[in-house]
Structure 1
Amino acid sequence: MDHRLVKVDGMELKISNPEKLLFPHVSKWEFILTYYRLAPYLLPYCRDRALTTIRFPDGVNGKSFYQKNVPAHRPDWIETKRDGEVEYVLLNNAPTLIWLANLACVELHVSFNTIHDPLMPTELVFDLDPSVPDFLRVVEVALLIRELLHKLNLDGIVKTSGASGLQIYIPLEPRYTYEQTRKVGKFISHYLAELHPALVTVERMVNKRGNKVYFDYLQHWHKKTLIAPYSLRAVPEATVSTPLLWEELTPELTPKQFTSANIFDRLEKKGDLFADGLRKKIRLDDILQFIERHRL
């Protein structure tokens, strides 16, 4: 069979080549079913945000391409939002998610702001990437960041990138601009890099990082994106960007352990660990005043 017809919330969709392998052990049909089951968890973090997808029409071992603009041939019920020359898909419902999955949109990257407040991010996010295959160093840096956040009367929630790193979210009251959040990100990242020079770097050039963990505070900006919570990643293991408890940041942790094969057992046991955390909105007034006083 080269296609299947399915109905998702009343919308009829044609699934092409359902038996094609998108991952070494995951067919396109299994991939689509995974996203359908993940929809209740994934959609709240994508709703009304500019979406960038990475498509793998021949599977994750084949060629890929980024797509920001909505494809020309799309159902008329697909919601979009134009921003300059780009017309973004709004991933607001399950039919849209399945339509994207049928296009082999494996990775789903979303903006830090909603379309309603384009200059105000809903959270401040720190992206931690290892320079060598040693995830323990990423765990160490994440725990150092949380320790510092507590000293600043702040806190965050953490998830795997699904690839090689960790990402820490600080949910914000809707009152701060990207310029203000950039000041906070720069202060915290540079402070940790100076305090732990053998472990943390803000150096963008990969060949100059050595074995240090890259604290990427620059990615958090207007019109930039980050992998959405519960998005799959284009690696052979079909990993999922997965929210964590801070207690799970142990020497044994690896992002490769959370996959499309086991994510639903985890969700059944732990639920969505981001849901409560993102509801606790945080103010940055004190740290912004400190930065301003010291002209940092």
Structure 2
Amino acid sequence: MASPFIEIQVGERIVKITNPDKVYFPERGLTKRQVVEYYLAVGDGILRALRSRPTTLERWPGGVFEGAKLSTRVDNKGDAFYQKRVPKNAPDWITTARIDFPSGRSADEVCPVELATVAWAANLGTLTFHPWPVRSDDVDHPDELRIDLDPQPGTDFDDAKKVALSAVRELLDDLGYVGYPKTSGSRGVHIYVRIEPRWTFTEVRAAALAFAREVERRMPDLVTTKWWKEERGEEIFIDFNQNARDRTIASAYSIRPRPHAPVSAPVTWEELPDVDPEDFTVETMPARFAALGDVHATIDDRAFSLEPLLEMVERDEADRGLGDMPYPPNYPKMPGEPKRVQPSKEARPTSG
């Protein structure tokens, strides 16, 4: 028997939704159709987050059921997976962008320019969209600095908020930057800053590391930039490597694969002190969006120079002797990078 489907009008496109009643979030009883309808309800916001950006699709075609897991490089037998290359059966109106991975390989990734692309991807089981910090007309020069506040064991969202509202916001003000905060959809806080697209990934990552180190200096008891987990302790890790090539963060308005269907929610600085990330879900966000619109609607109004942060990079090296930090393990050895060996596994000199 043919698979049941519905067709919905999205802009100028007709998008087919197969098995619309398939349950994606059993705990909430949410179906594939409701996932698609959620993305249409926040359409202006999700499209602003993704427009013209090469985007990796995090697909959960079986839904978020108990025991479901995401495939990894080590174990590719998961129930969900990241799709970096555009599916072979994609409609001819799906736009793509050619991107280069650190390995030297290339791929054509989905690059949304219209909301119908989001609906089409949601029909494939895409819950989370992971856009690159670049636009399709210049895929080698990021236009976004991403500050990722990642709570480590023993810390939580409230600690991430404390860092964001004090040292991070103060430093943004000192630099003359405007940052746009959002919940990660889990325990973290993300802050985005639009930058002029004239620096390389290497330079943007170096700037992010300098920013992180300055926040660490201002809040040494709660913030860490240590790359190795065994060294971090109960602190908020600022993940500078999220600014490296081919590293991505769940976009604003993306659904996260947790039982209660949370979403990564843009918020204002004024709201952030009282924010509880559990309040933002597939079920609650449409009403908020209908009432407030996209609270990050002005994010593209101005782009900032990285020069103040790159000057901090030079000062860190010249005055403090601080060089680069390790890249993620799947990257080739990078110029100036220290040894990529976690301290507990580093060989110790033998005595005698």
> What TM-score comes out, normalization by structure 2 length?
0.78
Following TM superposition, by how much is the alpha carbon of 1:146 offset from its aligned partner in structure 2, in angstroms?
Answer: 0.8
Q: How many residues are aligned here?
A: 295
The CA RMSD measured in Å over matched residues stands at 2.0
User: Is contact 2:51-2:111 (8 Å) kept?
Assistant: yes
Q: How many angstroms apart in 2 are the aligned matches of 1:288 and 1:60?
A: 42
The residue aligned with 2:19 is: 17
Q: How many angstroms apart in 1 are the aligned matches of 2:191 and 2:289?
A: 20
Identify the match of residue 305 of structure 2 among 269, 273, 283: 283
Q: How does 1:83-232 map to 2 (within 5 A)?
A: 83=99, 84-132=105-153, 134-143=156-165, 144-232=167-255
Correspondence 1:78 to 2:84: no
Identity %: 34
The one-letter amino acid paired with 1:3 is F
| 1:78–1:240 CA distance, 2 compared to 1 (3 A) | same
Q: Which has the higher strand share?
A: 1
Q: How many angstroms apart in 1 are the aligned matches of 2:10 and 2:272?
A: 37
The residue aligned with 2:64 is: 60
Name which of structure 1's ranges 280-289 and 257-266 shifts more when overlaid on structure 2.
280-289
Correspondence 1:274 to 2:274: no
The residue aligned with 1:44 is: 48
- For residue 300 of structure 2, give the secondary structure of its aligned residue in structure 1: helix
Identify the match of residue 255 of structure 1 among 277, 283, 291: 277
The residue aligned with 2:74 is: none
The residue aligned with 1:265 is: 287
| 1:50–1:212 CA distance, 2 compared to 1 (3 A) | same
Following TM superposition, by how much is the alpha carbon of 1:117 offset from its aligned partner in structure 2, in angstroms?
Answer: 1.5
User: Is contact 2:144-2:195 (8 Å) kept?
Assistant: yes
Following TM superposition, by how much is the alpha carbon of 1:125 offset from its aligned partner in structure 2, in angstroms?
Answer: 0.9
Following TM superposition, by how much is the alpha carbon of 1:289 offset from its aligned partner in structure 2, in angstroms?
Answer: 3.1
- For residue 299 of structure 2, give the secondary structure of its aligned residue in structure 1: helix
Following TM superposition, by how much is the alpha carbon of 1:207 offset from its aligned partner in structure 2, in angstroms?
Answer: 4.2
Following TM superposition, by how much is the alpha carbon of 1:290 offset from its aligned partner in structure 2, in angstroms?
Answer: 4.6
Q: How many angstroms apart in 2 are the aligned matches of 1:114 and 1:72?
A: 23
Following TM superposition, by how much is the alpha carbon of 1:293 offset from its aligned partner in structure 2, in angstroms?
Answer: 5.2
- For residue 243 of structure 2, give the secondary structure of its aligned residue in structure 1: coil
User: Is contact 1:112-1:224 (8 Å) kept?
Assistant: no
Following TM superposition, by how much is the alpha carbon of 1:41 offset from its aligned partner in structure 2, in angstroms?
Answer: 1.6
The one-letter amino acid paired with 1:120 is H
Q: How many angstroms apart in 2 are the aligned matches of 1:203 and 1:246?
A: 27
| 1:285–1:233 CA distance, 2 compared to 1 (3 A) | same
Q: How many angstroms apart in 2 are the aligned matches of 1:170 and 1:98?
A: 27
Correspondence 1:27 to 2:31: yes
Unpaired runs of 5+ in structure 2? 69-78, 100-104, 323-352
Name which of structure 1's ranges 33-42 and 100-109 shifts more when overlaid on structure 2.
33-42
| 1:82–1:291 CA distance, 2 compared to 1 (3 A) | closer
Instruction: Kindly provide the CA deviation profile for residues 150-189 of structure 1, in whole angstroms up to 9, marking residues without a partner as x.
Output: 2233331111111221111111123333233222211121
> What TM-score comes out, normalization by structure 1 length?
0.92
| 1:230–1:207 CA distance, 2 compared to 1 (3 A) | same
| 1:11–1:153 CA distance, 2 compared to 1 (3 A) | closer
User: Is contact 1:118-1:222 (8 Å) kept?
Assistant: no
The one-letter amino acid paired with 1:15 is I
The one-letter amino acid paired with 2:46 is L
Following TM superposition, by how much is the alpha carbon of 1:196 offset from its aligned partner in structure 2, in angstroms?
Answer: 2.7
The one-letter amino acid paired with 1:137 is D
